[in-house]
A = this chain, B = another copy of it.
Amino acid sequence: MKLHSRVLLAFVLAASVGLTPGMRAFAQTDPLASWNDGPAKQAIVEFVHATTDQASPQFVPPEERIATFDQDGTLWVEHPIYTQLVYCLDRVPAVVNAKPALANVEPFRTVMSGNREALAKLSMDDLLKIVAATLTGMSVDEFQAEARKWLDTARDPRWKRPYTELTYLPMIEVLKYLRANGYRTYIVTGGGQDFVRVYSEEVYGIPPEQVVGTAGGTSYGYDKNGRPFLTKEPKLLLNDNNAGKPEGIHLMIGRRPYAAFGNSTGDRQMLEYTKAGDGARLAMIVLHDDAQREYAYGPALGLPDTKVGTFTQALYDEATKQGWVVMSMKNDWKRVFAFEQ
């Protein structure tokens, strides 16, 4: 064996068994590589150290390590319209096809017309009718199959990519970093629980049972062969927004989170509830201030007010007062999407 072969072999061995500290450091990568150094990144790292180091006075036993994440605007793009609402609008033709009488009934007539101006003027009541008509009245299995098909084919108009690629890489890193440190990560979303569960495992690594969302009832019945199945009913069980978030967390998890992440007034109570617990608690909130790489909106700091994801100045002031950490998309995130190099 020549000298350089032996040196190479020694390196390979050292790397594979992790014997030399230098090599170990070299092999380790920053779990939050898409974050710029700054107070937001630092807050996450310090929280994890404080709650997982056995010597820390703020150590949290593994079974209590719960972290909750809003989805729209926190884990993926919510602007200019929630993805699930796009799904519902896209489903309207199939619903009208199945029940042709709906073609002459509002708001379905407006949706079928394709008139964008009229569409933008639909009221919340109209939207709820569309949501009920497109998300209920079918079996759970049928709904899952339809949603999956749509997710595989639909494309966001700005980035021309599947919606499931419009997740924020820095937040995916936080999910993985927390899980690597014994945290169970939950989605706590105002969006539909059944919708998010269709893709949460492959997109976020979060299994269906760790998705808490706005949930309707189901009803148990039998098909013509006597085989039982569940039908999605237009009956609201949990409106997982605002106060509904801590209420939903109690219902579905039964523990107060140690860390919570949000981006709008709909997350306020979840962040308050999390932060009000004993010991080290982390509350963080995304500020959409990056019109170039994503969007800039929410009236905090003079950003434009929009219909979705309202980050008000009052919320910003509460964040400051209560010690929530504001994540500036523009300043704290080195990279926004995985598909950007």
Q: Tell me the A residues contacting B by CB distance below 8 Å.
A: 63, 140, 193-194, 197, 201, 207-209, 211, 215, 217-220, 227-228, 230, 237-238, 243, 246-247, 250-255, 269, 272-273, 276
- Complexed CA–CA distance, A269 and B222 (Å): 10
> Across chains A and B, which 7 residue pairs bring their CB atoms closest together, nearest first?
A208-B254, A220-B243, A209-B253, A197-B254, A218-B247, A228-B272, A220-B246
**A249 to B, closest residue via Cβ:** B230
**A275 to B, closest residue via Cβ:** B228
Q: List 13 A-B contacts (CB under 8 A).
A: A63-B207, A140-B250, A193-B254, A208-B253, A208-B254, A208-B255, A215-B251, A217-B247, A217-B251, A218-B250, A219-B247, A228-B246, A237-B237
Each complex incorporates copies of this chain amounting to 2
Shortest CB-to-CB span from A54 to chain B, Å, is 21
**A247 to B, closest residue via Cβ:** B218
Shortest CB-to-CB span from A171 to chain B, Å, is 22
B237/A250 in contact, CB under 8 A = no
Which B residues lie within 8 Å of A238 (CB)?
237
Shortest CB-to-CB span from A141 to chain B, Å, is 10
Given contacts A220-B243, A243-B219, contact A250 B228 (CB under 8 A): no
Shortest CB-to-CB span from A268 to chain B, Å, is 10
Which B residues lie within 8 Å of A140 (CB)?
250
- Complexed CA–CA distance, A269 and B246 (Å): 30
**A252 to B, closest residue via Cβ:** B252
A193, A230, A273 interface centre (most CB from chain B within 10 Å): A230
